[in-house]
Amino acid sequence: MFSQIIQNATTADTTIWSDNEVPNFLLLNERGETVAKKYPIQKFNVTDKKQIRHFTKYVNKFNSTDISDRVICYFSRPVFDNSKTFAIVQWDNGHSYLGGGGGIILYRLQSDKTWKEFGTILSWRY
């Protein structure tokens, strides 16, 4: 399984994530990017005025935070074994450029068609 994942990693999908693929998250292409106030409201189809104020406040806070202090998580696309039963994903939070961490996590497809963390391959802190 590991040798299959390593072999399949040589042709891994490196395209950027799209909003349709990760419906519960806001996406940025780079750390310095500002978030448009309408982006979370449109993406999450928010109509309640209280929720709109909440998201507007959250976006304003994010946009006014120093770029090096923004908490952003990066996730690779998964690399699967040949049976598509196991997959690895690399993540990194890169907070403040000076402190953060990440890892490579192994996932296993369960009988109910959900993915469950199976183990940590590698982790790091910096």
* DSSP E strands, the chain: 74-75, 79-80, 86-92, 101-109, 115-125
At which residue do the structure tokens 């699967």 appear?
80
Model confidence pLDDT, tens digit, residues 51-64: 999 999 999 999 99
The contacts found for 71-74 with CB under 8 angstroms, 24 or more apart, are 71/95, 72/28, 72/31, 74/102
pLDDT at res. 82: 97
Residue 30 clears pLDDT 90, i.e. is over it: no
Q: pLDDT tier at 121 (50, 70, 90 boundaries)?
A: very high
Give the chain's mean pLDDT: 92
